[in-house]
C-alpha cells in the first residue's frame, strides 16, 4: 500500500514574546519573530530572529538556541542562534535558520522557545532559561 501522507501547505509569521527571565534592556525590549514555511510536498524552512536579548550569561548560558517543540513526529528540533553584530551597533540581535527536505513535516508543532544553553550536545531545552516563547496557535 502506498504512503499517502498528507502534508499541508503552511505559512506563518509567529511573534516570540519575552519571558520574565529576561530583564527589560535599555536599548530594545527582548522579542523575536519566526517565519515558517512548509510546502504541500513537505520540506520548507524556519527563520528565527530576535532583538534585545541580553548576553546569554545573564541566564547562565553561553549561547542562545531556538527549539521547535512537539512536531508531528514528536520531535524537538534545536536551532542555534548566532549574534549578527557588535552589541554597540545592534542591541542583542540573534538569528538562526532550519531547512527541512521533501517529505518532512514540522507543522503543526506546539511552540518555539528560545533558551540560553551552556552545554553541547543540544538534546533538550533548559526550561529554567527560557528567554522567548511563541505558541503555534498564534498562527
pLDDT digits (tens, 9 = 90+) for 113-133: 999 999 877 899 999 999 999
Question: At which residue does the C-alpha cell 505559512 appear?
Answer: 11
Question: At which residue does the C-alpha cell 526550561 appear?
Answer: 127
Rg from Cα positions in the chain: 16
Which residue ranges form the domains of the chain, and what is each CATH number? 10-138 (2.60.40)
DSSP string over 26-83? SS---EEEEEEEE-TTS-EEEEEEEESPPPGGGGT-SEEEEEEES-TTS--EEEEEEE
Identify which of 37, 48, 49 has the alpha carbon closest to the alpha carbon of residue 106. 37
According to DSSP, the β-strands at 77-83 and 10-18 are unpaired
pLDDT tens string 24-79: 877 678 999 999 999 998 899 999 999 999 889 999 999 999 999 999 999 999 99
pLDDT tens string 42-52: 899 999 999 99
In this structure, of 21-25, 35-39, 83-87, 97-101, the range with the lowest mean pLDDT score is 83-87
* Residue 1, pLDDT score: 36
- The model's pTM is 0.90
- What the block records as the C-alpha cell of 136 is 503555534
Chain-centroid distance, C-alpha 62: 17
DSSP 8-class letter at 22 = S
- What the block records as the C-alpha cell of 74 is 514528536
Task: State mean pLDDT over 70-98.
Answer: 88
Amino acid at each position: 500500500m502506498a504512503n499517502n501522507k498528507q502534508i499541508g501547505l503552511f505559512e506563518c509569521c509567529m511573534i516570540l514574546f519575552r519571558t520574565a527571565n529576561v530583564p527589560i534592556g535599555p536599548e530594545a525590549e527582548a522579542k523575536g519573530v519566526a517565519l515558517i514555511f512548509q510546502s504541500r510536498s513537505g520540506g520548507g524552512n524556519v527563520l528565527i530572529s530576535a532583538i534585545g536579548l541580553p548576553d546569554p550569561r545573564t541566564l547562565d548560558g553561553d549561547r542562545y538556541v531556538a527549539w521547535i517543540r512537539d512536531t508531528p513526529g514528536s520531535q524537538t528540533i534545536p536551532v542555534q542562534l548566532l549574534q549578527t553584530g557588535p552589541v554597540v551597533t545592534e542591541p542583542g540581535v540573534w538569528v538562526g535558520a532550519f531547512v527541512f527536505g521533501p517529505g518532512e513535516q514540522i507543522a503543526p508543532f506546539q511552540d518555539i522557545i528560545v533558551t540560553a544553553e551552556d552545554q553541547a550536545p543540544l538534546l533538550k531545552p533548559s526550561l529554567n532559561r527560557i528567554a522567548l516563547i511563541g505558541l503555534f496557535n498564534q498562527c
